[in-house]
Amino acid sequence: MITLDNLTKIFDTDRGVVSAADHINMEVPQGEICVLLGPSGCGKTTTLKMVNRIITPTSGRVLINGKDTSEQDTVSLRRSIGYVIQQIGLFPNMTIEENISIVPKLIGWDKSRYLKRASELLEMVAMDPAIFLKRYPNELSGGQQQRIGVIRALAADPPVMLMDEPFGAIDPINREVIQDEFLKLHRELKKTVMFVSHDIDEAVKMADRIAIFKEGKLIQYDTPDDILSHPINDFVKGFVGRDRALKRLQLVTVAEVLETESSVVTAEDSLATALQRMTDAGYERAIIVVDGDGRPVGYVSRSVATTTKGNCGQHSYNLRTLVRPEDDLRTVASKMFTHDATWLPCVSEHGKLMGVVTQRGITHHLGATYKSSRAKEQSLQHVRVAP
Amino acid sequence: MEILDFVLTNLDLLGKLTLEHIALVVVAVGLATLTGVPIGIAITQNERVATVVLYVASILITIPSIALFGIMIPILSTIGHGIGYLPAVIAVLLYSQLPIIRNTYTAIHNVSPGLREAARGIGMTSGQRLQKVEIPLSVPLIMAGVRTAVVMNIGVMAIAAYIGAGGLGVLISRGISQSDPRQLVVGAIAVSLLAIIADRSLLLLQRKLTPRGL
């Protein structure tokens, strides 16, 4: 856990006194990723660098797991915090193995232990130790170098990690991959991470919490969903972008908007039964056909059911695509657009039908939070105009 | 032909003078490296001091060697070494300071800020940063400074023959005083060859000392 308590940094510059960080109070809970977000010069990097005392605070305190960092020896404090920077900072005169082993060596691990750790870490980011351990940084691509940068920070297993725009210098395709890899690592290792970014998409993707900074002040500190659905002021609103409702799609999973009370038919049922069930359940367009194990095999449309006679098996259409409960709504919306569908069936890992996702359901879910916030705003305005 | 004859008949003398010359330069530049590198590193800590030190070193190098020897004669006479080995070594030591200090200072100063910050953030002490990162990365440039000093001072050392320090300059000074072009030419060519060979071999050494991966 990282706690910032009235953390302040004032720089004396040629243009006068500048407060780069102004009484920052926040807490990053154990095992979470907190993204510090804001335009350049907003104080996010200064705040991050005060945690490992690369920048000394003017006033205020930083506590790591309740311990005041200013009371610890700076060198050993830094060795207990993983540090990843945008410039990567691999030492070109050392092999990959030596680069990864720096901190374990500094804190006195024995040789066999840190060598084993280096191989282990390389495998975690899918790089073959046999190939890479003895290479030098200039023999690696930018993406590979930054992976080494990340695992170097993890080498001595620090509870806390600081990352200063770690993926900023990597091309967009590699950035996506390395972000996914980092999230996977994080799910296993559960470090407490403070992460500086200026990219709202990266923040929404990586963060458990987002802290938005402006001119040295912490403006809003909330979960990505709350930041996107309830931006606290026009600055945050502008910063997260006009498509913030769309950005929220990737934060919501199918499971959250799933309509589970699905009425279904089997292949042997008659079309008349299908029509009856559609009417009973209020389905306007179609009903899903399942097999004996509850797996969806097709659907019968209302127009066919009203005009034709026979059983469902003969008159069903194939399902164009399926979704899983853990898929995010961005994926689902994309599939809906691709297949020109207004609903998609959702199946479990055994292929059993769990329910359907509908466009209406998604819109409703996203709209609900906005409606409640608008109601709140209106009631506030009402209070203000009242005498 | 005459020159070749002279070389062949005087091989012993030529060898002795060359060794003397090398010994003088090696001792002087060696001492200069031992002093210049630490000074170069030390002045990276303070820009004002760095400016002053580099300025003084630049002034030293502009003093003509003959003048420098002249100045040293009365000073070193007080300890009985007004001429000979000691003033020659001191002169070369002083001349070598500028290339060595300046190259060391520039090399350490130019280590990229990203690497500096990584080293700091990882928890290296300032000593560890120097030893493991800054000095290894500076080796090529520091060695280039040493090479410049050696090549330059092989020439300066030739003049030290006039104060009785020995070396290949002896042939040149004799050639001039005895109006003997053979000695003059052989001395001059030997000094040039020595400079070229020293530069080449130090380049090899520099490549060997440069960490892989740079």
pLDDT of B189-211, one tens digit each? 999 999 999 999 999 999 999 88
CATH architecture assignment, domain B2-209: Orthogonal Bundle (1.10)
Domain extent at residue A259: 255-358
Count A/B contacts: CB-CB distance under 8 Å. 78
Q: Do B118 and A138 touch (CB under 8 A)?
A: no
The answer to the question of residue A118 being in a domain is yes
Residues near A219 by beta carbon (within 8 Å), at least 6 away in sequence: A38, A212, A213, A232, A233, A235, A236
- Is residue B140 within 8 angstroms of chain A, CB to CB? no
C-alpha distances in Å from residue B166, one per residue of A4, A158, B10, B81, B153: 71, 63, 16, 14, 14
The total domain count for chain A is 2
Same domain membership, residue A286 and residue A245: no
Domain segments of chain B as ranges: 2-209
Q: Tell me what pLDDT residue A373 has.
A: 56
pLDDT of B21-68, one tens digit each? 999 999 999 999 999 999 999 999 899 999 999 999 999 999 999 899
Contact A50, A56 (CB under 8 A): yes
Inter-axis angle of helices B135-159 and B85-109, to 10 degrees?
150
Separation of alpha carbons A244 and A132, rounded Å: 41
pLDDT: which is higher, B135 or A283: B135
Q: Do B211 and A93 touch (CB under 8 A)?
A: yes
Nearest CA in chain A to B126: A75
Same domain membership, residue A281 and residue A220: no
pLDDT of B121-139, one tens digit each? 999 999 999 999 999 999 9
Contact B138, B152 (CB under 8 A): no
- Taken in order A59, A65, A71, A77, is the CA torsion positive or negative? negative
Whether the predicted pLDDT of B140 surpasses 60: yes
Same domain membership, residue A102 and residue A74: yes
Tokens of A75: 């060198």
Among A201, A230, A251, identify where a domain stops.
Answer: A251
Same domain membership, residue A100 and residue A81: yes
**A139 contact residues in B (CB cutoff 8 A):** 213
Same domain membership, residue A266 and residue A244: no
Whether the predicted pLDDT of B170 surpasses 90: yes
The model carries a pTM of 0.80
Q: How many CA atoms lie within 13 A of A112 on its CB side?
A: 0
How many angstroms separate the CA of residue B140 from the nearest CA in chain A?
Answer: 12
Helix (H) or strand (E) holding A40: none
Residue A312, classed as helix, strand or coil, is helix
A21-24: long-range contacts (C-beta < 8 A, 24 or more apart)?
A: A21/A46, A21/A47, A21/A50, A21/A57, A21/A216, A22/A215, A22/A216, A22/A217, A23/A60, A23/A217, A24/A60, A24/A217, A24/A218
Same domain membership, residue A266 and residue A149: no
Among A226, A251, A276, identify where a domain stops.
Answer: A251
Same domain membership, residue A144 and residue A23: yes
Please state, for a pLDDT cut of 90, what percent of chain A lies above it: 52
Same domain membership, residue A86 and residue A127: yes
**Mutation target vs A (from B122, B133, B209; most A CBs, 10 A cutoff):** B122
Q: How many CB atoms lie within 10 A of CB B130?
A: 18
Same domain membership, residue A307 and residue A198: no
Same domain membership, residue A302 and residue A161: no
Whether the predicted pLDDT of A173 surpasses 80: yes
Q: Tell me what pLDDT residue A381 has.
A: 45
Contact B59, B138 (CB under 8 A): no
Q: Tell me what pLDDT residue A386 has.
A: 38
Among A220, A251, A282, identify where a domain stops.
Answer: A251
The answer to the question of residue A375 being in a domain is no
Q: Tell me what pLDDT residue B20 has.
A: 93
Mean pLDDT for B66-88 is: 90
Q: Given 3-state DSSP classes, what are the helix, strand and coil percentages for chain B, each rounded to the nearest 5?
A: 85, 0, 15
Tokens of B47: 């820009």
Separation of alpha carbons A342 and A336, rounded Å: 6
Q: Do A89 and B120 touch (CB under 8 A)?
A: no
Q: Tell me what pLDDT residue A383 has.
A: 42
Inter-axis angle of helices A96-106 and B113-122, to 10 degrees?
40
Same domain membership, residue A262 and residue A241: no
Mean predicted lDDT score pLDDT of chain A: 89
pLDDT: which is higher, A267 or B118: B118
ipTM: 0.82
- How confident is residue A384, by pLDDT bands cut at 50, 70 and 90? very low
Q: Tell me what pLDDT residue A302 has.
A: 86
Separation of alpha carbons B25 and B178, rounded Å: 27
